[in-house]
Amino acid sequence: MKFSPAEISYLRNSLELPSPIRPDGRSSQQYRPLEATTDFLPTANGSARVRTSDGGECIVGVKARVVKAASESSLINIDVDIAGVRDDSSAVVLLSSTLQTAIQASLPENALKLTDVYSFKLFIDALVISQPSNPFNITSLATYLALKSTRLPKLVSATDDAEAAEIPVFDDDWDQSTFLGQDETRQKWSPPIFTVMAVVGNNLFVDPSVEEEFVSDAGILAGWSADGKVIAPIRIIDLGGKRNGGLKSTLIYKAYSLLQSTAPDVIEALNAIGDQDSLSIF
C-alpha cells in the first residue's frame, strides 16, 4: 500500500498524540470487528474460521490421530500456511513455532494420553487465506477457537496396556467424545492467545490496521494464558514500518498492562462464540 507524505504525516501525528486518535476511531485497546465460526469442517475434530473487517480470513482445522507416544517427538504438530508467503519465511516460522511452544506448554499433561502406550497427536492446520495486516492476531484467535471446539473420541478399551498390548478401541458415538483438555469436573481447557501491538511514539495500539502498521516504529508481540497471565514470548516484531531505532523500556511495561486490560475481554468474547457454536460478531 502506498501513502502520500501528507497521509503519513497525518497518521503519525494523530497516533502520537497523548490521547491518540486511530484512523478508524477505535480506542487503543480495541480490536477490529471480526466474524467467527467454529466447527465448520464436519470431518475434522475441531475447526474455526475467523474473518476481519478489513478482509482478512483464516481457517484452522484440528485433526487427532492415534500414535505411540514413545515414538513421537511432539504430540502437537502445527502447520501454518499464509497465502502468498513462502513456507520458510520468518513470519510463518515465527508464527508456527510460537504457537506450538505455547500450546504445548499450556496443555494439561494427560490431555492427549490414551493408554500407557498410545496417545493422540494433534495436527493443527492453519491457513491464512488473506490478511492485509500482520497475520499473528487472526491466526492466534482462529487457533484458539479451533482448539476450543476440538473433541476427541472416547476410549472404550483398557488403558493399562503396558503389560499386554492392546489396540485402542473407541466409542462409535461421536456424542460421547470429550472436549480437548476437559477434566473430570468438565472444566474446559483454554489455549493461550497472542496479541500484536503497534508502537507509535509512546503509544501502543492493539490489533493495528495496515495504516497503523505502516507508520509504526515496531510491533510488540505478547501472549496471554487463560489463567490470566502474560506469557512468553514478549518480543519486538517487524510490522513493516519504515522507522527504525530502539524502543523505550517503559513501552514493555505499557504493553504488559495493556494486555492485562484487553485479553480477558477477548477471551470472554471468544468463549462466547465457542459456546454458541455458531456465527458471531463482536
Cα Rg for the chain, rounded, in angstroms?
20
In the complex, the smallest distance separating the C-beta of residue 274 from another protein, rounded to whole angstroms, is: 18
CB-count exposure of residue 8 (10 Å: 0-12, 13-18, 19+): middle
With binding defined as CB under 8 A, does residue 174 bind another protein? yes
In terms of Cα–Cα distance, which of 115, 72, 269, 96 is closest to 190? 269
Q: What whole-number distance in Å separates Cα of residue 97 and Cα of residue 13?
A: 36
How do beta strands 118-130 and 76-82 pair?
Answer: parallel
Residues paired with residue 62 on neighbouring β-strands, in sequence order: 46, 124
In the complex, the smallest distance separating the C-beta of residue 165 from another protein, rounded to whole angstroms, is: 4
In terms of Cα–Cα distance, which of 195, 198, 202 is closest to 248? 202
Nearer to another protein, 178 or 202 (CB): 178
Distance, C-alpha 19 to centroid of its chain: 29
Nearer to another protein, 16 or 171 (CB): 171
- What's the grid cell of residue 268? 470472554
In the complex, the smallest distance separating the C-beta of residue 29 from another protein, rounded to whole angstroms, is: 39
Binders of another protein among 54-83, rule CB under 8 A? 64-66
67 Cβ partners below 8 Å, 6+ apart?
75, 118, 119, 120, 121
Among 170, 230, 233, 236, binds another protein (CB under 8 A): 170
Nearer to another protein, 182 or 225 (CB): 182
Nearer to another protein, 1 or 162 (CB): 162
With binding defined as CB under 8 A, does residue 123 bind another protein? no
Q: Of the ranges 157-165, 200-208, 220-228, 260-268, which one interacts with another protein (CB under 8 A)?
A: 157-165
Structural contact between residues 281 and 34, judged by C-beta atoms closer than 8 angstroms: yes
In terms of Cα–Cα distance, which of 30, 36, 38, 32 is closest to 53? 32
Among 93, 105, 169, 281, binds another protein (CB under 8 A): 169
Total residues binding another protein (CB under 8 A): 28
With binding defined as CB under 8 A, does residue 167 bind another protein? yes
In the complex, the smallest distance separating the C-beta of residue 119 from another protein, rounded to whole angstroms, is: 11
With binding defined as CB under 8 A, does residue 161 bind another protein? yes
With binding defined as CB under 8 A, does residue 177 bind another protein? yes
Residues that bind another protein (CB under 8 A): 42-45, 64-66, 118, 153, 157-158, 161-177
